[in-house]
Amino acid sequence: MRNKIVLAFSGGLDTSFAVLYLKEKGYDVITLTVDTGGLSKKKIKEIRTRSKQLGAKKHCFVDAKKEIFNEIISYLIKTNGLYQGIYPNMCADRYTIAKHLVKTAKKENTKVVSHGCTGAGNDQIRIDITCNCLNPKLEIIAPIRELGITRPEEIKYLKEKGFRVSKETKRYTINENIFGRTISGSEIDKNKEPSKEAWVLTKETKQKPQYFKIEFNQGIPVALNGKKMHGANILKKLNKEAGAHGYGRGLYIEDETIGIKGIQAFEAPGLLLLIKAHKALERLTLTWNQLSTKQFLDNTWANMAYRGLLHDPVIEDIQAFLNKNQKRVTGKVKIKLHQKTAFLTEVHSPNSLIREDIAKYAQQASWTGKEAQAFIKIYSLQQKIAASRKKEKKQ
C-alpha cells in the first residue's frame, strides 16, 4: 500500500516538479492549494487541472482570505508591522498554508507533508516550524531543498516528462496573495532596477487625485468610503484603487533569517495605505508613553513574524497587549492619493487626545505663563546642573 503525502501546491514550477518526484518515490500525492488572496477563479481552476495532469491522487482547496486577515493581518496592522521598517511581512501567509497542511494531513490520515521551498529562503523556516509546533510527529519532505536542484534543471525535467512551463515562471519568482505581490529573480537578483514588466498592482493608470476615507474600530479597518465591509475586502479594493495611482511599490535589501542578505521587489498598496492611516489614528488617540512602549512590541512582532516564530508564546502575550492597547484606536482617516504619493488630510476620533478646551498648540492653554515658566525650570534642572559641572571643569 502506497503512503499518502500532502503537498502544498501552487501549480508553479517547484511544486509541479515536486508532484512528479514524490510519485517516483512511491507516494500517492494529495495536492493542497490554500488561497490566501492571490488566486482568481480562472487560476484556481488551472491549478486543479494542473494537479490532475501531473497525476495527483486528490486535490484539496481552502479559501483562507478572511481567515488570514482575522488571524494575522489584523495584528500586522495593529503593530504597523514593517520588517526592518520597510517590508510589510507579506510572507506571513506561509503560516496559514502550513496550518492547513497539518489539518489536511490529519483529515487524510497521513503523517507526511511536503512543500516546494528551496534551502536558501525563509519560507522553509515558516512552514517547517509551524508544522512542527502544530504536530511534532509530522515528517516533512521538501524535494527542492533536499535535492539542491536548480530552476533550469526543474524545467528540463518537466519538459522531458511532457509538461510545459510558462514564460513568466522562467523570468521571475512571484508570490501573490492578499498582501500584494513580491517579485524576485532576473535583473532584481542582479541588483538592477526592475523592468516595467515586473509591476502589476502599481501601474499608474489614474492621473487625477482620489480621496479615501478609512474607518477603524479598535485598530482594525471596518469601512471604506462610508461602506462597511470585512477587512479582507477593504484590502483587496485598496490594492486595486491605491495601486492605480502608482502607490505602494518597493525594492529593498533584507536580512534573511538564514543569515544572508537578499533583494526583493514588492507591491503592497492597500496594506501600506492601511498602516499609514492606522499610524496616524494611533498618534491622535494614544499617549506618548503608550506609543513608545508599543513601538518595541511592534518591532518584536514584525521581526518574529518574518523569522518564522509566530507560534512562540510571547506572540500571544504581545497580541493580548495589543487588544487592550488598541481599544481606543477608533475613528476615521482621510487620505489623498496622487502621483505615487499618499497624503494624510484628516484624522478624527471620539477618543482624540487633542482638547482645545485644555490647550491649543502654540496659541492658548489652560495654564498661566508663570506656571509654564516654573515647569521649564524644574523640568530642565538635572540638565542645567550637568551643564554647570562641565563649565566648572573647564575653568
pLDDT of residue 170: 63
Of the pLDDT bands very low, low, confident and very high (cuts 50, 70, 90), residue 363 is low
pLDDT of residue 313: 97
Phi, psi of 50 (to 5 degrees): -60, -45
Q: 152 burial class (0-12, 13-18, 19+ CB within 10 angstroms)?
A: exposed
Instruction: Compute the distance between CA of residue 125 and CA of residue 142 in angstroms, rounded to an integer.
Output: 12
Asked if the 3-174 domain carries CATH number 3.40.50.880, the reply is no
Residues 19-50: tens digit of each pLDDT? 999 999 999 999 999 999 989 999 999 999 99
For residue 47, count other CB atoms closer than 10 A to its CB: 21
Grid cell 498582501 is found at 179
Identity of the amino acid at 88: P
Q: How would you list the strands of the sheet with 180-184, edge to edge?
A: 173-177, 180-184, 261-267, 249-255
Residues 192-210: tens digit of each pLDDT? 999 999 999 999 999 999 9
Identity of the amino acid at 147: L
Phi, psi of 213 (to 5 degrees): -110, 115
Output the CA–CA distances (angstroms, integers) from residue 194 to 182, 218, 248, 271, 299, in the order listed.
Answer: 12, 38, 15, 21, 29
Residues 271-319: tens digit of each pLDDT? 999 999 999 999 999 999 999 999 999 999 999 999 999 999 999 999 9
Length of the chain in residues, anyone? Answer: 395
Residues 173-190: tens digit of each pLDDT? 888 999 999 998 889 999
* 2, pLDDT greater than 80: no
Instruction: Compute the distance between CA of residue 140 and CA of residue 58 in angstroms, rounded to an integer.
Output: 19
pLDDT of residue 382: 86
Could you tell me which residues come within 8 angstroms of residue 315 by beta carbon, excluding any fewer than 6 positions away? 301, 304, 309
Domain residue limits, the chain: 3-174, 364-394
